[in-house]
Every structure is written in structure tokens, then in C-alpha cells.
Amino acid sequence: MRVLVLLADGFEEIEAITVIDVLRRAGIEVDAVGITSGWVTGSHNINVMADKKLNEIDIEKYDGIVLPGGSKGVANLLKSSKVKEFLEKMNEKGKLIAAICAAPSILAKYHLLDNKRATIYPGMEKELPYPRDEKVVVDANIITSQGPGTALEFALAIVEKLLGKEKAWEVKKQLVA
């Protein structure tokens, strides 16, 4: 299994790093991908060196894509036509698409949530066609979550979707979650 986590300046650090860490603990290969450069600055001024840059990615080699939130990060993800292209290709193939915090609004904007239940950062529900007041929502190939405080549960839902309940439980137990 191979997943990419998209990092744009202004991303929410807890959401991105938690997902990267938990997925790697589960044995999933994860590439942290900078949208415009190798160094990416999070919403709380934490600098992260991406594993790869977006223009180096062959989306066909991935089983899933994760979009962290952060209002500036989401705005920067929306500026990239490549992000839209990647999301549409992943959705066409029924591959995993996961978005947390404000990032589910990107999926809604690109009509990937038209017939799906989803959740989003509290107060942004109007951005979604079928919002749910749940920490994590899984609907077919799409997983959404509410924000930094739900990042661990979100990451474990991704592990469960890709590797099954048993593996998710094993990682959860190791994390004392």
C-alpha cells in the first residue's frame, strides 16, 4: 500500500504528521508531498521537508491520497490544478481519498461528495451536500474528519480502510489510543 499526503503552505501540522506517523507504523508507504517546494511551512510555523514534490508524482502508483486541513493550506491546495486532477483520477478508480478539517470543502467543490456523507470542521457544514456531525465519516472510498483533535481517529480509519480492522486495532493498541 502506498499513500500520498499533500502538504501546502499553511497545512495543519497535527493532521498531517499524525496521519504520516500512524500510516507508517501500520506498514503503509507514505510520501509527504510538497505542492510547490520541498520545504513546507505549516499553519503554526513548523517547517517540514517533504519527501517529494507534486511535479514528481505518478498518481497511478498510489492507493490513496490524504488532504490535511488548515485554512491557508486548503486555499493553497485549491490553487493547484494538479491536485484536482489527482483527486478526480483517484475517485474514478475508487481509490482512497481522505480529507480532514477544512479540506473536505475541496472534495465538495470538485463534486466528489455529491452523493456522499461527510464531516468537516465545525461551523463549515454549509460547504458539504450531506454533512454529518461525527468525528470521522467513511462513505465508500472517502474518509472525512473534523479537525486536529480527531486526527488520530482519522488516521486509524485510513489504516482500517486500507489494511483491515485487525491491523487498525493492532496500531491503536500500540499507540494506547
Residue-wise pLDDT tens digits, 90-141? 999 999 999 999 999 999 999 999 999 999 999 999 999 999 999 999 999 9
pLDDT at 50 (0 to 100) = 97
Cα 142–144–146 angle (5° rounding)? 175
Q: What is the CATH number of the domain that holds 114?
A: 3.40.50.880
Q: How many distinct structural domains can be found in the chain?
A: 1
167 an active-site residue?
Answer: no
pLDDT at 153 (0 to 100) = 98
* Mean local confidence (pLDDT), 138-159: 98
Selected catalytic residue, list 101, 103, 120, 128: 101
8 A C-beta contact, residue 33 and residue 20: no
The grid cell for 149 is 483533535
Domain enclosing residue 161, as ranges: 2-175
Could you give the CA distance from residue 136 to residue 42 in angstroms, rounded to a whole number? 23
pLDDT at 24 (0 to 100) = 98
pLDDT at 35 (0 to 100) = 96
pLDDT at 55 (0 to 100) = 94
Query: Which among 126, 133, 130, 91 is positioned nearest to 112, based on CA atoms?
Result: 91
